[in-house]
Amino acid sequence: MQPTILVTGANGQLGSVLIPALRGRYGSERVIASDIRSVPNYRGRFELIDATDADRLTQVVREQNVTQIYHLAAILSASGEQQPIRTWNINMSAFLNVLEVSRQEGIDKVFYPSSIAVFGEGAELDHTPNDSVLDPLTSYGISKAAGENWAQYYFAKYGLDVRSIRYPGVIGHQSDPGGGTTDYAVEIFHAAVQGKPFSCFLQADERLPMIFMDDAIRATLELMEAPKENIRIRTSYNLAGASFSPEEVTAAIRQYYPDFDVSYVPDYRQEIAAKWPNSIDDSAARGDWGWQPEYDLKKMAKTMIEALQKRYNRETPLLGNNQFAA
Ligand code: SER
């Protein structure tokens, strides 16, 4: 039987692209987008949901006969540091609501996005293993690490089929990121294609794990469709795409725009990034459910630049509105 899927945070960077992918796969009528903000003239099923409101979540799940939830709504790392306690409260209460409503209403599967932000000083910086010590140093990272443990708890205690990926920074042209430490790596492409200089808030050599949007979406669908017995990690899976630093992505962009002007003015986000991995060991995802990324930096740069050139020529619209989602 086809699932009926509810996506929270559907207007965010990832949700805006995941929704069309899910609709393509399962049928438009089977996928309900939800967000704390509505979008004027939204095409398709949409419900206004603040995921911190458990009653509203329950109401939609019941009324729409939801069988799967993809819970993307969260405040990200950089914006989270402006209001750490509020970030913890919102991120945790929203996810605990999703878990509890899922248990009570007999939801079949839950997707929970975790992040490279769960890692801190205790983890190796290079090829960070899946089972590293998690000692995150942002409110967002603390909430994601705690959420991973709650995911495992609901699986172990109630058999709730919660599946999770630790996303690297997601690089896409279809939607804009908001409030993340890895956002520079999207913004830099926009500047280059518009012929503007770029001021980078990270150091030139601050290498971080990144992934191209198409790979991130495909990983999500592959994880959620994998046989249940293959999902041996019930906290969250490390996922690798391509790791690079600002100077490396700049070099890739200069293959197309040789005069692209980049300066470096590191701010508080540099301190966040410095504690995150340089690269990720995703052998568990590869072994358990066959993960294989398709985009390296070169392919990512080519695809981003070609797509953004079309966007700025007004051939393609921007998806979503962002601010409040993973
Ligand atoms: N891209 C996210 C951030 O920078 C990491 O999960 O906050």
* CB distance 117 to ligand 1 below 6 Å: yes
- As for how many domains the chain has, the answer is 1
CA 4 remoteness from chain centre:
21
Question: Is residue 122 in some structural domain?
Answer: yes
Name the residue of 140, 269, 276 to mutate for ligand 1: max ligand atoms within 8 A of Cβ: 140
Give the CATH number, domain containing residue 58: 3.40.50.720
Range of 82's domain?
5-168+212-238
Q: Which of 112, 140, 237, 295 is catalytic?
A: 140
Tell me 118's DSSP state: G
Question: Is residue 219 in some structural domain?
Answer: yes
Q: What is the pLDDT of residue 314?
A: 72
Question: Is residue 46 in some structural domain?
Answer: yes
Q: What is the pLDDT of residue 323?
A: 39
Tell me 80's DSSP state: H
- Residue matched to tokens 């975790």: 114
- Give SS3 for 102: helix
pTM over 0.75: yes
Question: Is residue 202 in some structural domain?
Answer: no
CB atoms within 10 A of CB 131: 12
Question: Is residue 230 in some structural domain?
Answer: yes
Question: Is residue 310 in some structural domain?
Answer: no
Q: Which residues pair with 111 in a beta bridge?
A: 70, 163
Which atom number of ligand 1 is nearest to the Cα of residue 182?
4
Ranges of residues in the chain with a pLDDT under 70 are 316, 320-326
Q: Is residue 140 annotated as part of the catalytic site, yes or no?
A: yes
Q: What is the pLDDT of residue 79?
A: 96
Name the residue of 82, 115, 201 to mutate for ligand 1: max ligand atoms within 8 A of Cβ: 115
Question: Is residue 225 in some structural domain?
Answer: yes
Question: Is residue 302 in some structural domain?
Answer: no
Q: How far does the centroid of ligand 1 lie from the alpha carbon of residue 277, in Å?
A: 12
Q: What is the pLDDT of residue 320?
A: 67
* Separation of alpha carbons 44 and 236, rounded Å: 30
* Separation of alpha carbons 177 and 175, rounded Å: 7
Q: What is the pLDDT of residue 1?
A: 81
Q: What is the pLDDT of residue 325?
A: 43
pLDDT digits 0-9 by tens, 72-123: 999 999 999 999 999 999 999 999 999 999 999 999 999 999 999 999 999 9
| Protein residue closest via CA to atom 3 of ligand 1 | 180
